[in-house]
A = this chain, B = another copy of it.
Amino acid sequence: MAQSITDINGVYASAIESGIKSKGLDLGLLYVPNAVAAAAVFTQHKFKASSVSYTQKCLKRYTLKAMIINSGNANAVTGKQGNLNTKLMASQTAKLLGLNPNEVGVASTGIIGKPLPMNHIETGIITLCKQKEDKQGNQLAESILTTDLVPKSTFKQAKIGKKTIQIAGITKGSGMIAPNMATTLGFLVTNVKLNQEILQQCLTKAINKSYNMLSVDTDTSTNDMVVCFASGEYAINQHDPEQINAFQNCLDEACIDLAMQIAKDGEGASKLIEVRVIHAARYSDAQQIAKQVCDSPLVKTAIHGEDPNWGRLIMAIGKNHTVKLNPDKIQVMLGNETIINNGQPTDIARTKLKKQLQTSKVIITIDCAIGNATATAWGCDLTKGYIDINTEYN
């Protein structure tokens, strides 16, 4: 079994089958009693779930020490009762853990618009709080899944000064994936000691390079949230740019690892797509081009069919007229093969291109040749599996 979030000192987790889903783990507790800082990013959706608004409010004045998390029901667009239910989950958990209700965040994921089965949840919280010091990191990773096929976790280490710091995380997500400032659910823990403001800055930066560069289907969830707890074991020097940089790199790696796992497990996906844009005029241009190629249904279906119809790649690269591009300078590569050089097709053989598509990870590189900005986005192919999963979700 791979290392899990509970392999970090002072981090506890457990999960149970409470009955929200028809079967499987669906309610979990993440508990970091000595957390010195907690940071989070949230969906910018207009119809935020009550778990998002509630946890956002807690973070303004308190350091989170725990998260109570359910899958199988998003508790979004559930009216006033939905808000009350979120608060009930937090206050019941807080009472049993001896915390202030504002120290307990709430996260929910699953179907939108259905009332939470509070009887199952209340009984479940009692069980979870009895085993609050369990080390079931892998079970928690499993309990947050919805249409995901596999649990997703990461464990990264870095040497900072003489200490080895650790960052571990779990995440979920397979459909309704097109984050904006955050996506889906993700929970990270680190053993460093640093203040909340700096942790928030680092997390926001890492999310912009990872979760926010991820798209399975262009749809954005009402419940997206990524939270990071710092357990405070190892102090790092917050005034030393080198130390902060080392921490940032380790956090970036952890977030990118989680984001790629989501793309790979996209609903119905058979291939991971990585689009690298280099030498763009502006960072926002590089991001936009990378994401729009990942999002193009015609690129996604061609890759699924291993059909080297590279015209569609060009279509997807140029479809947004607000982006700076010089059609006469661009270079485009599919895997190791160059398709377009200085804006001219290279007449490469179809069979050679097809080979670049017969892999589980397809890499597209777009060299804009007009600047220094770089961005990478991740997505997946579009298959009949996606249609199957989503024509009858209820």
A residues sitting closer than 8 Å to B (CB atoms) are 44-47, 74, 76-80, 111-114, 175-176, 178, 180, 217-222, 295-298, 301-302, 304-305, 307-312, 314-321, 323, 325, 327, 340, 344-345, 350, 382-384, 386-387, 390-394
Closest to A327 in B: B47
The answer to whether A317 touches B47, judged by C-beta atoms less than 8 angstroms apart, is yes
Complex Cα gap A74–B319 (Å): 15
The answer to whether B79 touches A219, judged by C-beta atoms less than 8 angstroms apart, is no
The answer to whether A390 touches B305, judged by C-beta atoms less than 8 angstroms apart, is yes
Q: Which residues of B contact A390 (CB under 8 A)?
A: 297-298, 301-302, 305
Complex Cα gap A74–B386 (Å): 30
Most-contacted residue by chain B among A76, A111, A295, A314 (CB, 10 A): A314
Q: When the two chains form the complex, which single residue of B46, B321, B387 contacts A304, counting CB atoms closer than 8 Å?
A: B387
Complex Cα gap A307–B388 (Å): 12
Complex Cα gap A308–B80 (Å): 22
The answer to whether B315 touches A45, judged by C-beta atoms less than 8 angstroms apart, is yes
Closest to A311 in B: B112
The answer to whether A314 touches B113, judged by C-beta atoms less than 8 angstroms apart, is yes
Q: Which residues of B contact A76 (CB under 8 A)?
A: 311, 314
Complex Cα gap A217–B393 (Å): 21
The answer to whether A45 touches B217, judged by C-beta atoms less than 8 angstroms apart, is no
What number of copies of this chain does the assembly contain?
Answer: 2
Q: Which residues of B contact A301 (CB under 8 A)?
A: 386-387, 390-391
Closest to A296 in B: B219
The answer to whether B176 touches A315, judged by C-beta atoms less than 8 angstroms apart, is yes
Q: Please, could you name 15 A-B residue pairs with CB atoms under 8 Å apart, sorted by A? A: A46-B317, A47-B318, A77-B345, A78-B345, A111-B309, A180-B319, A218-B296, A219-B296, A222-B318, A297-B390, A301-B391, A304-B387, A305-B391, A305-B393, A309-B394
Complex Cα gap A178–B321 (Å): 13
Complex Cα gap A221–B296 (Å): 12
- Tell me the smallest distance from the CB of A145 to a CB of chain B, in Å: 18
The answer to whether B46 touches A340, judged by C-beta atoms less than 8 angstroms apart, is no
Closest to A217 in B: B297
Q: Which residues of B contact A394 (CB under 8 A)?
A: 307-309, 350
Complex Cα gap A105–B112 (Å): 51
Q: Which residues of B contact A384 (CB under 8 A)?
A: 384, 387
